[in-house]
Amino acid sequence: MGIVQFPQECMKVSPNADQSKYYKFHRQVGHDTDECNVLKRQIEELIQRGYFRQFVKRTGQQKSGQQQPQHNLPKNVWKKDDSSELSSSSGKKREHDQVTITERDLSDKDSEEPRKHKKQTIHFIYGGPAGGDTQVERKKWSRQLYVGEVVSLPKGKKQRREAITFSDDDLPEGPLPHRDALVIKMEINDSIVHRILVDTGSSVNVMYYDAFTKLGLPRNQLKEVRTPLSGFTGDSIETEGSVVLPVEIGVSPNTSKMNMEFIVVKLTCAHNIILGRPALEDLKAVISMEHLCMKFPTPYGIGVARGDQRAARSCYVKACKKIGQKDLQVHTIAERVLKEEEG
């Protein structure tokens, strides 16, 4: 049918490849057909585009007149109909091996037919060394999470954690809704740093250069970062480098201590630091914007970092003031150029 691409990466065979395993589709050794992640990704993409509807079904659904399969399949698995066959454009029938595909959380509408019009997608702040500093490293990192695995390995037993909850006692003073950002303080390198913005949309922890110098840190402590940052405007920002510093967050004795990596950028901002997803995941933090509060587990119980509404609104006003000044400068220059042209 011409819908499966043959990737060049599958042509490379490692010298240490298992000679006892043979991949029929690419006709080479190294792994079995059902172990090839490249094929799994292609099958998953084709299912999302609407192909193979006659070969997949949800668990519990059965075509009329079809006998129940005798195989004991895992729960939430789609199984190929043995009686179905694909036919090529020339009308010749082809035989295929049996394939099982894990069930995706798709809506009935998406499973009935592919979308005719692709909608626009809006992304967020990204970049930095989160996924690697080279294109190859970032591709490898992105492929580690494959949503259509044929076989899921059993997960180890997770350590039981204390439940994190929010109540009315955690609500900030003043009227609701407040619409404020979550701006906290945290101890960094034995200094209390205020005006730290908690941002789940940032793929890195950002430290502005002014805060870096106020902490008394030398430039030679910065490690090179080759991947720039990019914001929602699409503009790339070259970084000064990265630095790993000891941090402590929370109120004693319920504090969490760790080493945290920051990407230093030489920009002027109302905030000192942006706490991105890496820090929030390392802290195992849970955020409630309504309560302007972030909670996280510590060895002594649940730690709490509360938002500072006064600091949040001060940063907002300061940032808006800079936007107004820039707009005023542009308007003034435009008027001056217009008058010169008219004169």
Q: How much is the pTM? A: 0.54
Chain region(s) in the chain for CATH 2.40.70.10: 170-321
207 burial (CB, 10 Å; 0-12 / 13-18 / 19+) is buried
Instruction: Write down the pLDDT at residue 232.
Output: 62
**How would DSSP label each residue in 60-124?**
T---TTPPPPSS-PPSSEEE--TT--EE-TTS-EE-----EEEPP---HHHHHS--SSPPP----
Instruction: Write down the pLDDT at residue 144.
Output: 61
Distances (CA, A) of 75 to 41, 46, 302: 21, 22, 36
Q: Which CATH architecture has domain 170-321?
A: Beta Barrel (2.40)
Instruction: Write down the pLDDT at residue 114.
Output: 52
Instruction: Write down the pLDDT at residue 335.
Output: 59
**How would DSSP label each residue in 179-205?**
----EEEEEETTEEEEEEEE-TT-SS-
> Which of 125, 170, 174 shows the shortest CA–CA distance to 294?
170
Instruction: Write down the pLDDT at residue 128.
Output: 60
Instruction: Write down the pLDDT at residue 127.
Output: 58
Per-residue pLDDT tens digits of the chain, which is 343 residues long: 677 766 655 556 666 777 777 777 667 777 777 777 777 877 887 887 777 777 776 555 554 444 444 444 444 444 444 444 444 444 444 444 444 444 444 444 444 445 555 665 554 445 566 666 666 776 676 666 554 444 455 666 777 889 999 999 999 988 899 999 999 999 999 999 999 999 998 999 999 999 999 999 999 999 999 888 887 667 788 899 999 999 999 999 999 999 999 999 998 889 999 999 999 999 999 999 999 999 999 999 999 999 999 999 998 888 887 666 555 554 555 555 555 655 5
Instruction: Write down the pLDDT at residue 226.
Output: 86
Instruction: Write down the pLDDT at residue 119.
Output: 61
Instruction: Write down the pLDDT at residue 58.
Output: 59
Instruction: Write down the pLDDT at residue 80.
Output: 45
H and E: helices and strands count for the chain: 6, 18
Region of residue 230 (phi > 0: left; psi between -120 and 50: alpha; otherwise: beta): beta
